[in-house]
């Protein structure tokens, strides 16, 4: 993981492309998991964003913290 990846991981919300680079999951997998509710995301109009901390907690099997 590079220093820029650490910066991305601590940003509040990132795109599916950025999340793909950070997690090693394909963008297709990220979109599929977001659609079926397996990955936490927020929708702003047509844009879908991911909170890296919540995604990593979900992938690690922890309950993600709600960021309202």
Would you write out the chain's pLDDT as a tens digit for each of its 68 residues? 554 555 555 668 999 999 999 999 999 999 999 999 999 999 999 999 999 999 999 999 876 555 54
User: Looking at the domain assignment, is residue 64 inside a domain?
Assistant: no
pLDDT of residue 23: 93
Q: Which domain does 53 fall in, by range?
A: 3-59
User: Looking at the domain assignment, is residue 15 inside a domain?
Assistant: yes
Return the axis-axis angle of helices 27-35 and 16-23, rounded to nearest 10°: 110
Q: Which helix (H) or strand (E) holds 42?
A: strand 42-44
User: Looking at the domain assignment, is residue 67 inside a domain?
Assistant: no
Tokens of residue 63, six digits: 């309950």
Question: Does the predicted model carry a pTM greater than 0.75?
Answer: no
User: Looking at the domain assignment, is residue 19 inside a domain?
Assistant: yes
């Amino acid at each position: 993981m590079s220093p820029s990846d650490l910066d991305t991981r601590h940003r509040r919300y990132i795109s599916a492309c950025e999340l793909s680079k950070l997690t090693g999951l394909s963008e297709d997998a990220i979109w599929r998991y977001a659609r079926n509710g397996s990955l936490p995301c927020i929708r702003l109009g047509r844009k879908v964003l991911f909170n890296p901390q919540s995604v990593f907690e979900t992938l690690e099997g922890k309950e993600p913290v709600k960021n309202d």
